[in-house]
């Protein structure tokens, strides 16, 4: 699958409180969460999100276990998150709910704000169409690849339940 | 090559002789918990998928502690959803109202955790139970929902980092200061994906409450779990509380460590983590005068008896500075009762403090003490991220209960020997 979008750059340690503040967590509605996604860091995020690919530094998604964080990003219309590294709970949550995440220190460093990006998820390749650079991404382990291909963890669980 | 405590617990739950860091394994779980913020997503996910099977209702724990006592209609609906779910599946470990407390203070107290257990929770501070020699880690709502159905989850076996604490602690240096200092030293991603094992003579001397504080904040260094050996203090604590078997593990002498970090605590002073990262640590004696508006004492990090005793020791016979609101959140109803019995509540009230119900409330800027623009708060909680406790232009300074209480008296950030 190929996805494309414009790079929106953020720094290191973007935490889940910044991605979606706790005061909005009484809602589980993705559209409502998306309206407040990243608002404390970038009040205009929700307006520009729909064509965006987030590009951030290290430890993206650190902090709370709130799955509302990747849900909010996904519902904002943002296509994917590229980061130098991800915090572990966010990483699991993103895989489970089907938000594409890509880990590449080099891409996180070299991609510039506003660059037009094209990602080939199957090949694990990020193309920066503005600069002409291509980045190879650390691949998912096969088990996680399976979760992604089935469209999220719960589809796997459903199959296990049926086969019992 | 030997194994660490973390590897041994994971191996036992994966029914394997040995596991190695980096390996992905399926493990049986002993307990899976969620709260009133995370459980609704898990429950709705199961309903959406039309899955109506729970592997073992006794291994599911639901705690209404974040937006409780319910702050608005939406949070009341969320707790109702949990309550209905608990009734439908016969989940006995559902805690609300006067039975509820802050989950990570409550579960050990209720005897739901034993050494050697493997516990997962839809809350990042699930790592707290490592203080009892259990493997415990935070996950999201979907992972927890899946574990409720299957009774298992997948884990990547983490590399372990060994932290050795030696030396003699100065006055007012607590478990909170050890962990803040450690996070300051290695950074908020210094132990990303790793197990942090805490050991040394200083750890042995720490009270259990202080050990909970340390394990609790392992996630603030990016760790998957924090863990300590279950010694006699732990076994005394769990005996009489828990009905299930303690499995006590120690790391082998030839266990493999990613790194061994030795910390001499002798020169360590009480720590204050400045906005907006728990790693922005300073000695309380080295900072400029910072006037404050609010002090919060409580949370899953510092809401236990020892913490309240530390605060009371400072507040006894003193008054809170008129510019400061002092909010005290005992972690559970039992902690509250014990504080009453020991006369601590009177000390807090006479000092001008507010006693709040056991709740996560202000820690995450949920309710019961949210900050306005420009306000500064000294808090015994675990995170000082941008906007964490309220307005995006408010500031949170993390500290131990001694420093929090003395700051409430001084009106600016201070240690007990500075007021």
Q: For residue B365, what is the domain's CATH number?
A: 3.30.499.10
A92 and chain B in contact, CB less than 8 A = yes
**pLDDT (average), residues B328-340:** 98
Tokens of A146: 């399976």
Q: Give me the tens of pLDDT residue by residue for chain A, a chain 164 residues long.
A: 899 999 999 999 999 999 999 999 999 999 999 999 999 999 999 999 998 999 999 999 999 999 999 999 999 999 999 999 999 999 999 999 999 999 999 999 999 999 999 999 888 999 999 999 999 998 888 888 888 888 889 999 998 888 87
Say which DSSP state B248 is in.
-
Q: Is B145 close to A15, i.e. CB distance below 8 A?
A: no
A88 and chain B in contact, CB less than 8 A = yes
A134 and chain B in contact, CB less than 8 A = no
**Are residues B363 and B398 located together in one domain of the fold?**
yes
Q: Is B142 close to A17, i.e. CB distance below 8 A?
A: no
Cβ-contact A161, A152 below 8 angstroms = no
Q: Give contacts of A141 with chain B, Cβ < 8 Å.
A: 24, 156
Percent of chain B with pLDDT over 70: 100
How many angstroms away from the CA of A102 is the closest CA of chain B?
Answer: 17
Q: What is the pLDDT of residue B135?
A: 98
Q: What is the pLDDT of residue A150?
A: 86
DSSP letters, B82-107, are HHHHHHHHT-SEEE-GGG---HHHHH
**Are residues B174 and B295 located together in one domain of the fold?**
no
| Rounded Cα distance, B177 and B281, in Å | 9
The number of CA neighbours under 13 Å toward the Cβ of B124 is 28
Please report the sign of the dihedral spanned by the C-alpha atoms of residue B43, residue B47, residue B48, residue B52. Answer: positive
pLDDT tens-place string over residues B67-112: 999 999 999 999 999 999 999 999 999 999 999 999 999 999 999 9
| Rounded Cα distance, B150 and B38, in Å | 18
**Are residues B124 and B157 located together in one domain of the fold?**
yes
**Are residues B194 and B214 located together in one domain of the fold?**
yes
**Are residues B279 and B355 located together in one domain of the fold?**
yes
**What is the overall mean pLDDT for chain B?**
98
Q: What is the pLDDT of residue B16?
A: 97
Q: What is the pLDDT of residue B214?
A: 98
pLDDT tens-place string over residues B164-195: 999 999 999 999 999 999 999 999 999 999 99
CA dihedral B204→B285→B273→A44, nearest 10 degrees, is: 180
Q: Is B140 close to A96, i.e. CB distance below 8 A?
A: yes
Degrees, nearest 5: CA angle A54-A74-A95: 90
* Interaxial angle between packed helices A153-163 and A88-97, expressed in degrees from 0 to 180 and rounded to the nearest 10: 70
Using the 3D structure, point to which of B215, B236, B263 is the last residue of a domain.
Answer: B263
Please report the sign of the dihedral spanned by the C-alpha atoms of residue B129, residue B133, residue B134, residue B138. Answer: positive
Q: What is the pLDDT of residue A83?
A: 98
**Are residues B161 and B277 located together in one domain of the fold?**
no
Q: What is the pLDDT of residue A142?
A: 85
**Are residues B124 and B183 located together in one domain of the fold?**
yes
Q: What is the pLDDT of residue A138?
A: 80
Tokens of B347: 């000390």
Q: What is the pLDDT of residue B242?
A: 87
**Are residues B191 and B322 located together in one domain of the fold?**
no
Largest alpha-carbon pair distance within chain A?
Answer: 52
Q: What is the pLDDT of residue B1?
A: 87
Q: Is A66 close to B51, i.e. CB distance below 8 A?
A: no
b or e along B78-96 (b: 16 or more beta carbons within 10 Å of the residue's beta carbon)? bbebbeebbeebebebbbb
- pLDDT for B240 beyond 90: no
Q: Is B41 close to A68, i.e. CB distance below 8 A?
A: yes
| Rounded Cα distance, B160 and B186, in Å | 14
Cβ-contact B211, B175 below 8 angstroms = yes
| Rounded Cα distance, A115 and B339, in Å | 58
What does the H/E/C string look like for chain A?
Answer: CEEEEEEEECCCCCEHHHHCCHHHCCCCCHHHHHHCCCCCCCCCHHHHHHHEEEEECCCECECCCCCHHHHHHHHCCCCEEEECCECHHHHHHHHHHCCCEEECHHHHHHCCCCCEEEEECCCCEEEECCCCCEEECCCCCHHHHHHHHCCCHHHHHHHHHHHC
Q: What is the pLDDT of residue A77?
A: 96
**Are residues B117 and B211 located together in one domain of the fold?**
yes
Structurally, chain B folds into a number of domains equal to: 2
3-state secondary structure of B375: coil
| Rounded Cα distance, A12 and B231, in Å | 38
Cβ-contact B152, B129 below 8 angstroms = no
Q: Is residue B69 reached through a cis peptide bond, with omega within 30 degrees of 0 on the bond before it?
A: yes
**pLDDT (average), residues B198-220:** 98
Tell me how far CA of residue B115 lies from CA of B5, B16, B89, B250, in angstroms: 11, 19, 27, 11
Q: What is the pLDDT of residue B324?
A: 98
ipTM above 0.85, yes or no: yes
Say which DSSP state B298 is in.
E
As beta bridge partners, residue B264 has: B166
**Are residues B108 and B198 located together in one domain of the fold?**
yes
Q: Is B37 close to A25, i.e. CB distance below 8 A?
A: yes
pLDDT tens-place string over residues B57-69: 999 999 999 999 9
**Are residues B249 and B306 located together in one domain of the fold?**
no
Using the 3D structure, point to which of B198, B231, B263 is the last residue of a domain.
Answer: B263
- pLDDT for B274 beyond 90: yes
**Are residues B249 and B349 located together in one domain of the fold?**
no
Q: Which domain holds residue B45?
A: 5-263
* Optimal mutation site among A40, A41, A67, interface B, most CBs of chain B within 10 A: A67
Cβ-contact B136, B225 below 8 angstroms = yes
Using the 3D structure, point to which of B234, B263, B292 is the last residue of a domain.
Answer: B263
Nearest residue to B332 (alpha-carbon basis) of B60, B92, B95 = B95
| Rounded Cα distance, B296 and B44, in Å | 33
Q: How far is CA B226 from the centre of its chain?
A: 11
């Amino acid at each position: 699958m190929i996805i494309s979008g414009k790079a929106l750059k953020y720094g290191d340690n973007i935490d889940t409180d910044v991605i979606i503040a706790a005061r909005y967590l009484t809602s589980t509605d993705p559209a409502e969460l998306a309206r407040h996604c990243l608002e404390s860091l970038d009040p205009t995020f929700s307006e520009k999100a729909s064509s965006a690919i987030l590009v951030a530094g290290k430890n993206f998604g650190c902090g709370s276990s709130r799955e509302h964080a990747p849900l909010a990003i996904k519902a904002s219309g943002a296509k994917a998150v590229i980061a130098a590294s991800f915090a572990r709970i966010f990483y699991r949550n993103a895989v489970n709910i089907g938000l594409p995440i890509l880990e590449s220190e080099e891409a996180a460093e070299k991609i510039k704000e506003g660059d037009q990006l094209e990602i080939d998820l199957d090949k694990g390749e990020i193309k920066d169409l503005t600069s002409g650079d291509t980045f190879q991404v650390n691949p998912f382990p096969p088990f996680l690849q399976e979760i992604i291909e089935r469209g999220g963890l719960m589809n796997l669980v459903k199959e296990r339940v049926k086969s019992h | 090559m030997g194994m660490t405590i973390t590897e041994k617990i994971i191996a036992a739950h994966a029914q394997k002789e040995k596991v190695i860091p980096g390996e992905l394994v399926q493990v049986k779980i002993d307990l899976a918990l969620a709260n009133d913020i995370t459980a609704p997503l898990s429950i709705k996910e199961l309903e959406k998928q039309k899955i109506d099977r729970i592997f073992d209702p006794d291994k599911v724990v639901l705690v209404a502690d974040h937006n409780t006592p319910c702050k608005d209609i939406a949070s009341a609906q969320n707790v109702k959803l949990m309550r209905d779910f608990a009734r439908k599946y016969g989940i006995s470990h559902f805690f609300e109202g006067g039975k509820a407390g802050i989950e990570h203070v409550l579960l050990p107290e209720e005897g739901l955790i034993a050494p050697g257990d493997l516990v997962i929770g839809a809350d990042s501070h699930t790592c707290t139970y490592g203080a009892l020699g259990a493997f415990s880690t935070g996950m999201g709502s979907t992972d927890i929902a899946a574990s409720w159905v299957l009774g298992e989850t997948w884990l990547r076996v983490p590399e372990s980092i060994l932290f050795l604490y030696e030396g003699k602690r100065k006055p007012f240096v607590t478990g909170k200061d050890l962990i803040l200092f450690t996070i300051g030293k290695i950074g908020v991603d210094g132990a990303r994906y790793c197990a942090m094992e805490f050991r040394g003579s200083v750890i042995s001397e720490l009270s259990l409450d202080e050990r909970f504080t340390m394990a609790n904040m392992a996630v603030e260094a990016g760790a998957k779990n924090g863990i300590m050996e279950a010694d006699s203090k732990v076994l005394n604590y769990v005996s009489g509380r828990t009905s299930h078997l303690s499995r006590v593990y120690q790391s082998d002498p030839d266990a493999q460590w990613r790194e061994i970090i030795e910390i001499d605590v002798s020169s360590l002073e009480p720590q204050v983590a400045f906005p907006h990262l728990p790693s922005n640590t300073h000695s309380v004696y080295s900072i400029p005068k910072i006037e404050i508006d609010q002090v919060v004492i409580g949370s899953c990090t510092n809401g236990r008896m020892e913490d309240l005793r530390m605060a009371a020791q400072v507040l006894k016979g003193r008054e809170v500075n008129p510019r400061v609101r002092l909010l005290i959140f005992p972690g559970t109803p039992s902690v509250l009762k014990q504080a009453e019995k020991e006369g601590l509540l009177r000390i807090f009230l006479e000092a001008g403090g507010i006693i709040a119900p056991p709740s996560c409330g202000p820690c995450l800027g949920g309710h019961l003490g949210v900050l306005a623009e420009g306000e500064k708060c000294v808090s015994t909680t675990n995170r000082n991220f941008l906007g964490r406790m309220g307005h995006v232009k408010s500031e949170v300074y993390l500290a131990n209960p001694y420093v929090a209480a003395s700051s409430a008296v001084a009106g600016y950030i201070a240690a007990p020997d500075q007021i």
